[in-house]
Structure 1
Amino acid sequence: MDGSHGVDAQTRQDERLAALLPRFAERAAVHDRSGEIALETLDDLRQAGFLALAVPREKGGGGIGLRRTVDLVARVARADPSSALILAMQYLQTAGIACSSTWPDDLRDEVLGSVVRDGALVNALRVEPDLGTPARGGVPATRVRRAGGRWLLSGQKIFSTGSSALTWGLVWGVTDEPEPRVGQIVVPLDLPGVRIEKSWHHLGMRATGSHTFVFDDVDIPDRYLTSLQPVGAGSPETASVARWHAIIVAGLYDAIARSARDWLVDFLHSRVPSALGRSLATLPRFHSVLGEIDGLLLVNTALMERGLTQAEAGQRAEDDGQIKRIMTENAIAAVAKAIEVTGNPGLSQDNPLERHYRNVLCGRIHTPQADMVLESAGKHVLVPAP
């Protein structure tokens, strides 16, 4: 943000968020146990104006860029990672809609207007039971067919972060035409024929509500078929959205590790074994462990700055996958070290460290995944582009 108005607005946002974060952290443990979305946390973010911050200012939003997005998502993630992931997808998708070259203006205004006016939540619904993640290629089984002058959508989408809290789904599907087209289908998720099957029973990030959407001949108005391209042509928005996704996700899981680190520091100061007569924080063994953890997080800080600087300079995004991979692995290693040295207290559900560990492990499953990142990085060196 530039100018005094922007600085003042950012300061007010920071103050509002700081007041909310203790509340978010307290709820996080409860919703981790229940496996339900923290709807009250999302409502707090809505009322405080945070859900529309990635919408351009000329459309009534906050117009924040990637650096500010990473900062806000990380702050929320230190308190409640599941809600932070829903927020991250909100920012990613609304920013993508705003800069899309294929969305018609009236549809863009309809969706972004609902975000600004009502705090509507948006996410892409892409992964399927048989196909897996579309980042690995393939054509979706989710299809729209023409029948009686209408488009009817049928299919399933799994791992749908935010599920029951969403207003809009950007469904990746293919047309049932002689020459099929593939792309986003905008779906108001309250339409007849849309239902949610509870299927998210994961080790970590349990309160993301990443359940399965089932579409059963959902009547889709023509104007909601956007960004459709011939199969194999690719998406014009892929590169920019992928860059934001990699960097935002890296920042989120790094934030989980920093919460774990802070808990460890407090634990070592407060833990005074009777046989020792002083806190664990006085022992060289724990000094070394904390040094290792802080070293990993220091590398993450440098990597994040590199990614943000390259993005702001408009440089090629070839490092973003490696940044996400390394930051995620460093975050997991940092929390694992904290678990290793705390023993039973670290693994007890009475303490947040075991939850941080379960949550941080989920960083590996997000696109881009490690095997694809490493293959792409090696190919870039060994097989020059024609």
Structure 2
Amino acid sequence: MKVARKPFTVDAFNKNADVDLPEITRHLAQSADKVDRQARFPSDNFAYLHRLGLLSLTIPASLGGQAADLNTVRQVISAVAKGEASTALILLMHYLQHQQLHHSSKWPHRLSARVAQDALQSGALINALRVEPALGSPSRGGLPTTTAYRTTKGWRLSGEKIYSTGSHGLTWMNVWARSDDKTPSVGFWLVPAHAPGVEIIDEWDHLGMRASSSHRVIFHDVELPLDHAVDSAPQAIANKKAAESEAVKWMHVLLGSLYDGVAQAANDWFKRWLLTRTPSNLGAPLASLERFQEITGRIDTLLLSNKVLLDAAANNDVPHHQLAQIKQITTSQSIRAVEHIVKAAGNPALSGSHPLQRHYRDVLCGRIHTPQDDTVFKAAGQAALNVTGATS
């Protein structure tokens, strides 16, 4: 079977994207049903992506990576999502971490270089672990209960995280925590995923993104060197830094691209079905019927809107304060597109053996990523009204 060029380079990608990206999608789609049913970390998929050199996409060229821009990265995420959505989500988080850590002045160079070399040489993955059982999403404020205690040798980390995407496949966990200082610092402590005291509890049993391995992780007095406090600051500074980060734009654009990719996969199936399904009482393909032509046009319009918005955001044509709206609009339109398809396809679409039910379950997960709709709309309303809050 033909595969994308190896090793991956941005120059080669720019010349061969029309061939390479569909091949990546086809390869991953072949095992997507099996991956979904097994609901385990998709290790074979990441071995494949590593062979193609795609795990180095957001690593700086100075460290041997590709230093790809957002437009390139979002095309890769979309192609992977069209093939297998959970793989795309884990890959997206890995890309975000490398994009952010290599632009941070606080990360010790020896650690950022080590994380990069691990990815290049062995396909090592990294993700941030932020959400906690008691606090919920940190985007809504509050301090983490996961705590790094100072020791004579460095730190001792204790706490737990939920929705830890990629858990079993990670080499590095970038853990959001607080220090035990009187005025605590808040930020990230870099934890080797296989360090003594790291425990993964297999509790992820979601309807969608079933292979994302988003399990609970518990840290039982994990010993860390002093410089593994890689990016921490007093809380007010940490919150302001997070809100202004370039990574925010990347996150919104890539999440929108992922769920748009899922909707594109559903739409590709739908169009093939309309062009080939010929009921005996009709004597012509379903595509000949005005009803299905209208539905197809609705879907195409939603996906066209996604493309225009995501292109604009990736090209810096959207103000920073409106980026969350781009994520909300594109994920919502992706859900609507798949809903149109499922409704039009009828009963077979909800069969457990049908790819549409998997696409539908996966695309619905677009609603749960930070920021959620209520937060997006409140911020958009405040910006539109030029107010900073509400009175009761």
Q: TM-score, normalised by structure 2?
A: 0.92
Residue 179 of structure 2 corresponds to 175
One-letter amino acid of the structure 1 residue matched with residue 11 of structure 2: V
Matched, 1:295 2:298: no
Residue 282 of structure 1 corresponds to 288
> Which blocks of at least 5 consecutive residues in structure 2 are unaligned?
1-8
Deviation string, structure 1 residues 305-361 (Cα, Å, up to 9, x no partner): 2211216xxx74112111110111110000001111111111112221111111000
8 Å CA contact retained: 1:246, 1:368: no
Matched, 1:232 2:236: yes
Separation in structure 2 between the aligned mates of residue 330 and residue 265 of structure 1, nearest angstrom: 18
Separation in structure 2 between the aligned mates of residue 251 and residue 320 of structure 1, nearest angstrom: 13
8 Å CA contact retained: 1:92, 1:241: yes
Separation in structure 2 between the aligned mates of residue 274 and residue 6 of structure 1, nearest angstrom: 49
Separation in structure 1 between the aligned mates of residue 381 and residue 346 of structure 2, nearest angstrom: 39
8 Å CA contact retained: 1:96, 1:237: no
Secondary structure of 2:162 counterpart: strand
8 Å CA contact retained: 2:157, 2:222: yes
Of 232, 252, 270, which residue of structure 1 is paired with 2:276? 270
Deviation string, structure 1 residues 100-155 (Cα, Å, up to 9, x no partner): 12212222212222222222101000001111111111100111112454411111
Identity, in percent, stands at 40
Of 96, 101, 105, which residue of structure 1 is paired with 2:105? 101
Separation in structure 2 between the aligned mates of residue 13 and residue 195 of structure 1, nearest angstrom: 40
Change (3 A) 1:345 1:173: same
Give the paired residue count: 379
Of 11, 22, 26, which residue of structure 2 is paired with 1:22? 26
8 Å CA contact retained: 1:161, 1:210: yes
8 Å CA contact retained: 2:71, 2:311: no
Matched, 1:367 2:370: yes
One-letter amino acid of the structure 2 residue matched with residue 268 of structure 1: L
8 Å CA contact retained: 1:27, 1:38: no
Matched, 1:334 2:334: no
What is the alpha-carbon root mean square deviation over aligned residues? Answer: 1.9
Secondary structure of 2:295 counterpart: helix
Moved more, 320-329 or 10-19: 10-19
Of 139, 144, 156, which residue of structure 1 is paired with 2:143? 139
* Shift of residue 197, structure 1, vs aligned partner: 0.3
Deviation string, structure 1 residues 6-25 (Cα, Å, up to 9, x no partner): 53354467755544432210
Moved more, 22-31 or 315-324: 315-324
Moved more, 261-270 or 225-234: 225-234
One-letter amino acid of the structure 2 residue matched with residue 139 of structure 1: L
Secondary structure of 1:233 counterpart: helix
8 Å CA contact retained: 1:121, 1:168: yes
Secondary structure of 2:95 counterpart: helix
8 Å CA contact retained: 2:82, 2:264: yes
Deviation string, structure 1 residues 241-296 (Cα, Å, up to 9, x no partner): 11110110001101111111111111122222222222211111111111111111
Separation in structure 1 between the aligned mates of residue 296 and residue 127 of structure 2, nearest angstrom: 37
Of 131, 156, 162, which residue of structure 2 is paired with 1:127? 131
